[in-house]
Amino acid sequence: MKRQFFLILTLFLASNCFSQTRVSGIVKNEKGDPVFNASVILMRSTDSLTVAFAFTDDEGFYEIFTKSEAEKMLLSVYGFNVKKQTKLIDNVSQTVDFVVKEEAILLQEVSIKSEKIWENNDTISYLVSAFRDTTDVVIADVLKKMPGIEVDDDGKIEYKGKPISKFYIENMDMLQGRYNLATKNISAEDVATVQVLENHQPVKALSNIDIADDAAINIKLKPGSKGTFALTADVGVGYDENLLWDGKLAGMYFGKRQQYLSTLNANNSGYRLTDNRNITVRPFASIIKPSMPTINERSRTFNNSYGFTFNTLQKMKNDAELSVNALYGGDEIKKSSFSQTTYFIPQSDSINLSEDMNSMEMTHNFEAGINYVLNKEKDYLGINFLAAGSNVNDSSNIMRDYLVRQNQSYQAVSTKLDLRWVRRNRNDSGKGIEIESKNSYGTLPYSSGARPGSFPDILNDSVKYALTNQDINLTSLKSYNVLRFLSLFVWKRFTLFPTATFSLERQTLGSTLDLTDNDGNTFTLEEPQYGNDILWLKLQPAIGLTFDYRSLRIKSQLYIPVQLRYIDFIDDRNDNSYNNIKVLSQPSFSFKYKMNHRFDISVNSFIYNSTPSLQTLYSGYILRDYRTLARYDSRLADTWGNSSSLKLTYDNIFKYLVCDASVNYNRYKNEVMYAQNFEGDMLIINAVDKESTGDYLSFSLYAGKGFEWHNLNINAKCSYGYGRTPQLVEDKVATYFNRGWNANVTASLRITERIIFSNKGSWSRMISTLEGQTSNQKPIISFIDYANIDFILPFGISVGSSLEYYHTSGMGRRQDFGLLDCNISYTYKRVRFILDCQNILNTKNFVYSYYSDIYGYYSEYSIRPRSVMLTAKFKVL
């Protein structure tokens, strides 16, 4: 029985074994060498279906198993050096060896046209409906959700972390950079698609020549929204210790060949609505008034503002675009602060000056621009004309041991004309030229008054008087022109860039001083030194060559410019006329070497030259402010200097670690010194022909490390700087030494996906000493910590909160204060509500202080008290 069972078991096992066939063997070539990596396949003989396969090993051996039940099988050997050989074998385990012929095999060539269009298309389109949800009101809300696009509170857009270069509505650029008017006002439901144009070169004639790395955005409207009028509104109300309000209305129309957009704004809640960025002439004098610290705009601005803008674009018959932009606005701003300035005088006591100030500043601005663009394949012509006017009336009262009342007013008018012309060769060689010309003309009639009269010793034979009046007339014509070739000269890895520029500057300055005595009589100071009548002309043609060398491990650049400088100075009143012609060169050099995957070393050096501008060349006295009187009765002087740096960098991005160490050194030589003499606490500045040299040395270390744990990032930087500056104070040359230490640590942490925390702490210590002075000044120590936490909640609610802590000590004072802000936003049925609470701790003043060469400065600036504001944003039409 036992034996029978064993037999059955054996038979069963045997039959099981027999159902799997093992074919093995050795493949050799005709020389008898084994063939490696040849394919051996076993196929059904009936339909050549592959049943099993193997590859030969380095001894030419192969082994194939199959469970196929076919009676006959085909066994093939081939490879891309092996001529195919096939044998018909029985489906039983066996050894089959091959001797194959080795030969290079040509494949049967095939080429099929790809069906898909896949050329490099740089346009990415987003369907607005796919990103829009019920909480979105304006197009900026939808843009924020699109990959790669970021929109800030002001409506400005970034794509992949870089500001976009152009913003088109239906392919037309109406707003010329002020496109936030559109993003904040165009209703999300009117937009069909948003197109991102990557690597967008707006000048067609420069395509494939100048690579634009910038992206542009084009908004395509829904058919039903084209050619209709739309209106959106913002309404806000709040309270600090007074009622706060904010209102905005925007109307727009986008047609096929014409577009319009107009806005109307008014608020008293801290947003200024004018800026003077297009005013090209700046006054030579000012009044002393509180200076705004660098904290957020709402906290520091007490205003009453209104603004109006109008924008339109018309498409012309030759497809050129003509756009007109106009704006008008007014700001009335109140500021108050307390400040203390301490002048360090060689071999004498320092001078202390305390000023308690209140100012009222009124500005009205008007701006109108016309822009014409003809953008063809081979030609480009852009003409931009702009006229801007600014009417400023400021007054400031200063309480010190006596009351000082100052005022200034001016009506500045500037015009600008910019031209850009590109012409590309008719054959597509990439050759061509580009000319760019920027021109501006401005006038600025300025008048100021200071009561009581300043500098009686100099201006009124030491007799005290009531009021100093000053009139300054400035005109300025500037032109800057560049010529460049669209193709460059290249030899191996060297590139040569030539450039040619021409600049012109013509300025006139006229000034007079009037005094009003205590009896109310006004007279003009007629002596030449109390006024100016100057014509200043500077011409600067220049050519420059840049040599650039780049290889895998070296990057280096040398720039050699040659400049001809002609200056004509005509001063009839003070009989101080001269002209001067000079050839200058200010080369610069940079070199970077990659030592290995982790270490880089770089060296930079440049030589610079500067001459004073008319602002520090006039010969007659100008009252720069009520306590500074200046004249620069000297010849034209040059400043020469050199600045160099060395930096060693280590980075290992795989370990989230980076460190660097750098040294910077700067040395300069001045042909004139500016003598600073005090009359009491009044400062008189004169230029004196006296050479001086100064230098500055700094070291810095940086390290940054990231951790996987909750995305923790820590960056630390510390630096030390040492400066030596000679100054001419009270007719003595004194050397001021400035030393400063600075340390910064920033850390950020993502506590959860919806709670984000960041903290930035910075500490600094500054000290200024005078050569030979034993009584050292006290250092200013400041510590600032800024912590921020954001919560992103469901249902369209988000909450943000930030706390800033400031500590300052030095200059005999010590201050600690904090600022706490919080905001919540929520969207309900296409109306966005924002609740903003600022300065919850109700801090009164923002305090800061610093040292400059000859003085130390301390300021307490009054900021907006605790305030709350609720704003709603919605579409009207």
Q: Considering only residues 1-30, where is the footprint of another protein by CB under 8 A?
A: none
- Which residues make beta-bridge pairs with 579? 568
Long-range CB pairs of 106-113, under 8 A, 24+ apart, other chains included: none
The residues in 261-290 that bind another protein, with binding defined as CB under 8 A, are: 277
Please tell me whether residue 581 adopts helix, strand or coil conformation.
Answer: strand
Interface stretch with another protein, choices 283-291, 299-307, 706-714, 861-869 (CB under 8 A):
706-714
The residues in 123-162 that bind another protein, with binding defined as CB under 8 A, are: 146-150, 152, 154, 156, 158, 160-162
Residues 147, 296 contacting (CB under 8 angstroms):
no
Task: Examine residue 31 and tell whether it contacts another protein (CB under 8 A).
Answer: no
Which residue type is seen at 847?
A: V
**Which of 185, 311, 532, 602 forms a contact with another protein (CB under 8 A)?**
602
**Which of 1, 14, 107, 583 forms a contact with another protein (CB under 8 A)?**
107
- Alpha-carbon distance of 861 to 848, in angstroms, equals 9
In the chain, the largest separation of any two C-alpha atoms, in whole Å, equals 147
**Which of 4, 16, 111, 752 forms a contact with another protein (CB under 8 A)?**
111
Q: Which helix (H) or strand (E) holds 18?
A: helix 2-18
Angle value at C-alpha 43, between 38 and 48, nearest 5 degrees: 115
Nearer to another protein, 706 or 818 (CB): 706
**Which of 364, 423, 484, 592 forms a contact with another protein (CB under 8 A)?**
592
Task: Examine residue 79 and tell whether it contacts another protein (CB under 8 A).
Answer: yes
**Which of 204, 220, 376, 594 forms a contact with another protein (CB under 8 A)?**
594
- Alpha-carbon distance of 563 to 586, in angstroms, equals 9
Q: Is 811 left (phi over 0), alpha (psi -120 to 50) or beta?
A: left
The count of chain residues that interact with another protein, using the rule CB under 8 A, is: 118
Nearer to another protein, 213 or 428 (CB): 213
Task: Examine residue 559 and tell whether it contacts another protein (CB under 8 A).
Answer: no
The single residue listed with the structure tokens 């305090």 is 847
- Alpha-carbon distance of 778 to 65, in angstroms, equals 91
Residues 381, 374 contacting (CB under 8 angstroms):
yes
Nearer to another protein, 14 or 112 (CB): 112
Task: Examine residue 67 and tell whether it contacts another protein (CB under 8 A).
Answer: no
- Considering only CA atoms, which of 798, 792, 722 is closest in space to residue 752? 792
For the bound state, the minimum distance from the C-beta of residue 627 to another protein, rounded and expressed in Å, comes to 21
Task: Examine residue 583 and tell whether it contacts another protein (CB under 8 A).
Answer: no
The residues in 169-208 that bind another protein, with binding defined as CB under 8 A, are: 180, 198-199
The residues in 410-469 that bind another protein, with binding defined as CB under 8 A, are: 430
Task: Examine residue 36 and tell whether it contacts another protein (CB under 8 A).
Answer: yes
The residues in 732-761 that bind another protein, with binding defined as CB under 8 A, are: 746-750, 756-758, 760
**Which of 4, 114, 318, 427 forms a contact with another protein (CB under 8 A)?**
114
- Considering only CA atoms, which of 679, 583, 570, 563 is closest in space to residue 614? 570
Nearer to another protein, 453 or 726 (CB): 726
CA distances 64 to 95, 357, 551, Å, are 10, 97, 53
Nearer to another protein, 360 or 688 (CB): 688
The pair of structure tokens assigned to 550 is 């780049």
Provide the edge-to-edge strand list for the sheet that holds 149-151: 149-151, 157-159, 162-163
Nearer to another protein, 648 or 797 (CB): 648
The residues in 317-376 that bind another protein, with binding defined as CB under 8 A, are: none
- Which residues make beta-bridge pairs with 713? 706, 748
**Which of 1, 14, 583, 653 forms a contact with another protein (CB under 8 A)?**
653
Residues 631, 621 contacting (CB under 8 angstroms):
yes
For the bound state, the minimum distance from the C-beta of residue 472 to another protein, rounded and expressed in Å, comes to 23
Task: Examine residue 707 and tell whether it contacts another protein (CB under 8 A).
Answer: no
**Which of 2, 116, 317, 426 forms a contact with another protein (CB under 8 A)?**
116
- Alpha-carbon distance of 514 to 408, in angstroms, equals 14
**Which of 50, 123, 347, 524 forms a contact with another protein (CB under 8 A)?**
50
**Which of 249, 370, 535, 658 forms a contact with another protein (CB under 8 A)?**
658
For the bound state, the minimum distance from the C-beta of residue 156 to another protein, rounded and expressed in Å, comes to 4
Please tell me whether residue 528 adopts helix, strand or coil conformation.
Answer: helix
Task: Examine residue 608 and tell whether it contacts another protein (CB under 8 A).
Answer: yes
Contacts of 218 (CB under 8 A, 6+ apart): 168, 169, 170, 171, 194, 195, 197
